[in-house]
Amino acid sequence: MTAPAAAALTQAHGLDLLREMMRIRAFEDRCYQLYGQMKIRGFLHLYNGEEAIAAGALSALRAEDAIVATYREHGHALARGIPMNKVMAELFGKQTGCSGGRGGSMHLFDVARKFYGGNAIVAGGLPIAVGLALAQRLRGEAALTACFFGDGAVAEGEFHESLNLAALWKLPVLFLCENNLYAMGTALDRAQAETDIRARAAAYRIDAAAVDAMDVLAVEAAVAHAAQAIRGGGGPAFLEMRTYRFRAHSMFDPQLYRDRAEVEAWQKKGPIITLTTRLKAQGLMSEADYQRLERECNTEVDSAVQFAERSPWEPVSDLERYVYAERRA
Amino acid sequence: MPNDAPEPAGALTYRDAVREALSVALREDPRVFLMGEDIGRYGGSYAVSKGLLATFGPERIRDTPLCESTFVGAGIGAALGGMRPIVEVMTVNFSLLALDQIVNNAATLSHMSGGQISVPLVIRLATGAGRQLGAQHSHSLEGWYAHIPGLRIAAPATLDDARFMLAAALALPDPVLLFEHLYLYNMEGTLTEGLERVDLEHAAVRRTGRDVSLISYGWSLHKCLSAAADLAKEGIEAEVLDLRTLRPLDDAAIMASVRHTRRALIVDEGWRSGSLAAEIATRIVEQAFYELDAPVARLCSAEVPIPYAKHLEDAALPSPQRIAAAVRALLAPSGGG
């Protein structure tokens, strides 16, 4: 399977994709500051540089498709349509957060939007995605389950078990490997005997393609193509999204494992710059348009921060709620 | 992992009761399906699911590859997706390969999502020692699982519970682990006439007595009943409490029995250190200390990996003889102290 070429770009669609990436970037740049101000605590993993994957993939998927993501999932949550207010409030640990303040950055949930979490165990989400897809199949739904994970997950047993089971049972799972070249600080070639991740998927007879994930249009086209094949009953598909993380792994990472020059080289071909350059070159966006988008994103982030600041804390008296379900099955 | 010998025709075994529970669940709820290793064509490692594949077909009786973590996780995902999966993990020993999914996902998702998600998943596991299967096939780790908030843990020890606990578990929106001691599968008996359901909340007094409370569950329950019968010949009347559910524990029933008899012996095939028996003993001390006539006593497995040789395995496990001896010590004039 090779990734199909991106379709001709309309102005409206191009600006939508750019806006989505820019609002994720603006949200997370603010998160970085808020972390320094101790408004956000715990672990905070930023998606900076990888935004094209969430923006492109979620654009190509349908609302009824289920999403399983990792602990680096702010972008996926926002692109899925979870209101920024609720995501920011969750990072603040507030009652109005999308997980009621019980999850935090790594555990964003919105079941109404079929967003089944940030999972903070590497590869821990893959079996759940297989099960969601099994339920979709058994219930006769046309939906699929998109499962995001990083290159680090490829080393885990659950990765191999899940690919095998999904392929064996021909389940509607779209495996989206966000290969940013480092599992925390361990480079891919220091962890994997076979560094071509597509080959791992192919070993389970799953169609696999690699995508330049600095190009949101390529991501969107590849996901749309794979989703179509899955909906046609072809079983799971696998996309290796070749990307790069511009910021540190988390807020506690001095980045001793990579060169500054490497980071800068990737930043020059970042997903926002790439699309901005293309839209301008094609005459689909002016500098004024770009600045307007930037203002809109910053305004949305400002109001999300205000919402989170103003929101109440969950009362401690409710600490033990939800350990067991409060409604009958 | 050998199949057990077939039971005599006509007799109702614990195995039959579990199989009937599975059949009824599959018949009554189209969301229910079974998933696990060798549950279909092979008929189940303990022959529990034998025949179900022919009746319900491969979409609902799903043989899985050997991938405990992923088929348990897939059970969680299917539960999130609106199904009512029953996952068979062949034995508790293999559930260690699925701990990530059970502890990090099944137990946490409801709370961590602020109550948006529930995980109505039932996991059945064989547990326990006594068949000379060696250390890696003889664990009793239900007490471990009972440590985890978010899980419900139960241990059917009677035919009635084998027949009806599954429906009670399926009716709950939470993940439930049902531990079936491997010694119970061949146990024969009859169902209580007219019984249609059981709960997953209450312990049950299986024998009444005034002198001591034997608190147990699973196969150990039957060792306690055997010991109680022997003790009765000596004029010692032991009350035998079947915990039934290990999380949550039925504190009220435990305390009621202990207040009645004023002495307690907890019998648990798990190891003693950091055990379920330790938890129960502590609760008794916290809630009924001044009503005790003797220190709370425990009989657990020896703190060794369960050995293969029969004489060593026997020596490692609670037995009716050791239970009776522990009771006599409790009732001795020194008060067992």
Asked if the structure places residue A64 within a domain, the reply is yes
pLDDT at B6 over 80: no
Q: Which member of B80, B115, B173 has the closest CB to residue A116? A: B80
Number of domains in chain A: 1
Beta-carbon count within 10 A of A242 CB: 20
Whether B68 sits among the annotated catalytic residues: the reply is: yes
pLDDT at A107 over 70: yes
Confidence of residue B1 (pLDDT cuts 50, 70, 90): very low
What per-residue confidence (pLDDT) applies to A251? Answer: 82
Helix segments in A139-286, DSSP class H: 157-168, 188-191, 197-202, 216-229, 260-268, 271-281
How many Å separate Cα A328 from the centre of its chain? 32
Confidence of residue A8 (pLDDT cuts 50, 70, 90): confident
ipTM value > 0.90? yes
pLDDT single digits (tens) B81-116: 999 999 999 999 999 999 999 999 999 999 999 999
Chain A residues touching B79 at Cβ < 8 A: 131, 135
Residue range B206-219: mean pLDDT, rounded: 98
What per-residue confidence (pLDDT) applies to B291? Answer: 97
With a pLDDT cut of 90, the percent of chain A lying above it is: 93
Q: How far is CA A19 from CA B110, B168, B313, in A?
A: 33, 50, 67
**Residue located via tokens 């329950």:** B221
Tokens describing residue A55 = 């923006």
Q: How far is CA A305 from CA A30, A308, A314, B29, B46, in A?
A: 9, 5, 18, 46, 57
Largest Cα–Cα distance in chain A? 58
Residue range A192-197: mean pLDDT, rounded: 94
Domains B12-189 and B204-331 alike in fold: yes
Q: Give the strand pairing for B61-63 and B32-36.
A: parallel
Cβ atoms of A47 and A72 closer than 8 Å: yes
Return the domain boundaries, chain B. 12-189, 204-331
User: What does B154-223 look like in DSSP terms, one character per residue?
Assistant: E---SHHHHHHHHHHHHHSSS-EEEEEETTTTT-EE-PPTT-----SS--EEEE--SSEEEEE-HHHHHH
CATH of the domain at A35: 3.40.50.970
pLDDT at A149 over 80: yes
pLDDT at A288 over 90: yes
CA distance B154 to B180: 9
Torsion angle of the four alpha carbons A272, A277, A278, A280, in this order, in degrees rounded to the nearest 10: 120
Is A93 in CB contact (< 8 Å) with chain B? no
Q: Which residues pair with B86 in a beta bridge?
A: B34, B122
pLDDT single digits (tens) B53-84: 999 999 999 999 999 999 999 999 999 999 99
Pick from A6-10, A176-180, B268-272, B301-305: least confident: A6-10
Asked if the structure places residue A6 within a domain, the reply is no
Q: Smallest Cα–Cα separation from B161: which of B12, B10, B14?
A: B14
Pick from A98-112, A247-261, B95-109: least confident: A247-261
Domain B204-331 in this protein, CATH class: alpha beta
pLDDT single digits (tens) B283-327: 999 999 999 999 999 999 999 999 999 999 999 999 999 999 999
Average pLDDT value for chain B: 95
Judge: A124–B76 Cβ closer than 8 Å, yes or no: no
Cβ atoms of B307 and B135 closer than 8 Å: yes
Give how far A275 is from chain B: nearest CA, Å.
35
Judge: A131–B80 Cβ closer than 8 Å, yes or no: yes
Average pLDDT value for chain A: 95
Judge: A97–B113 Cβ closer than 8 Å, yes or no: no
Is A142 in CB contact (< 8 Å) with chain B? no
Helix segments in B97-136, DSSP class H: 99, 109-112
Give how far A73 is from chain B: nearest CA, Å.
14
Give how far B225 is from chain A: nearest CA, Å.
33
Asked if the structure places residue A312 within a domain, the reply is no
Interhelix angle A271-281/A11-36, nearest 10 degrees: 150
Interhelix angle A11-36/A287-310, nearest 10 degrees: 40
Interhelix angle B68-80/A157-168, nearest 10 degrees: 60
Asked if the structure places residue A316 within a domain, the reply is no
Confidence of residue B333 (pLDDT cuts 50, 70, 90): confident
Confidence of residue B329 (pLDDT cuts 50, 70, 90): very high
Confidence of residue A131 (pLDDT cuts 50, 70, 90): very high
pLDDT at A6 over 60: no
Judge: A324–B109 Cβ closer than 8 Å, yes or no: no
Chain A residues touching B116 at Cβ < 8 A: 99, 109-111
Q: What is the pTM of this model?
A: 0.94
Chain B residues touching A204 at Cβ < 8 A: none
Q: Which member of B70, B149, B173 has the closest CB to residue A127? A: B70
Is B83 in CB contact (< 8 Å) with chain A? yes
Confidence of residue B11 (pLDDT cuts 50, 70, 90): confident
Asked if the structure places residue A281 within a domain, the reply is yes
What per-residue confidence (pLDDT) applies to A327? Answer: 67
* Fold category of B12-189 in CATH: Rossmann fold (3.40.50)
Q: For A66-75, b where at least 16 C-beta lie within 10 A, e where not — what string?
A: bbbbbbbbbb
pLDDT single digits (tens) A32-61: 999 999 999 999 999 999 999 999 999 999
pLDDT single digits (tens) A218-244: 999 999 999 999 999 999 999 999 999
